[in-house]
Structure 1
């Protein structure tokens, strides 16, 4: 079943991230240690109240890929090692929620690609994924995929 694509405006969302320039071949083994580093900071060194129920995120700044891997937080903070304050972009986005096996996430991307190609909009920058809370019975995680747009 194809993901439903919606158009909406989002506000910038503060994040705590580790940024890297990698390759698509290296990325599958690179993202987990980056995320673990952010969580170590949030659990052990972050200012009190910085994290309040935020979700894991992956921001793809370009096709290289230049990436930011991290967690939604409530505001800025001083850098700690490789963990830095950043944000998910704000603006007009096409968004779709992937529900199902992670191996099929590409189907949600295909739905977004098709929707954008048939719309009056064009991609203008990064895209990102926001990972929901795991379902306690299945372990399944819904993933919201967002792509920044502008009028064509």
Structure 2
């Protein structure tokens, strides 16, 4: 797949999340399970304004926050806590297709940044499009936005 990578300035966005640590091969189970925990807490608290699912990879050890976008900060409920997406300068692209191939979009961002003098720093995250029933029949329509935080106002050498 050809990826169009672009640089954007983003503001932080409120989230409700659970914190997890996972091995790479566990992500296909850990992320959906964590999303379910968050949705259950939001329903129990009757929180309005819940949006798309988000997974923030905090480091290369795969410590992550998994949850849901919100319209306002979340005070917490059980293991579900309030958080925010990182704010700042990012490299971003959109992946169309299977979640199992999201690594291709991350790799494209790494390559693009290396070729265009941008340095990656800190977390990276995925924002999953709202599920559409048609995706069951055509997984190429599944879309996920990928973001990598960049070193602000600095160009690699």
TM-score by length of 1: 0.89
Where 1:127 maps in the other structure, the secondary structure is strand
Equivalent residue for 2:132? Answer: 135
CA distance in structure 1 between the partners assigned to 2:120 and 2:39 by the alignment: 31
Equivalent residue for 2:33? Answer: 33
CA positional deviation for 1:110: 1.9
Contact 1:2 1:107 in 2 (8 A): no
Task: Spell out, residue by residue over 1:96-144, the C-alpha distance to the aligned partner (whole angstroms, 9 max, x if none).
Answer: 0001222322221221111011122101100000001233423442000
CA distance in structure 1 between the partners assigned to 2:97 and 2:35 by the alignment: 22
Say how many residue pairs are matched.
149
User: Normalized per residue, which structure has more helix?
Assistant: 2
Equivalent residue for 2:147? Answer: 146
Contact 1:16 1:85 in 2 (8 A): yes
Q: How does 1:57-72 map to 2 (within 5 A)?
A: 57-72=54-69
CA distance in structure 2 between the partners assigned to 1:46 and 1:14 by the alignment: 16
Decide which moves more: 62-71 or 14-23.
14-23
Contact 2:15 2:74 in 1 (8 A): no
Equivalent residue for 2:110? Answer: 113
Residues 121 and 62 from structure 1, CA distance in 2 versus in 1: closer, same or farther, beyond 3 angstroms?
Answer: same
Where 2:40 maps in the other structure, the secondary structure is helix
TM-score by length of 2: 0.87
CA distance in structure 2 between the partners assigned to 1:29 and 1:56 by the alignment: 14
CA distance in structure 2 between the partners assigned to 1:138 and 1:26 by the alignment: 23
Q: Which runs of 5 or more residues in structure 1 are unaligned?
A: none
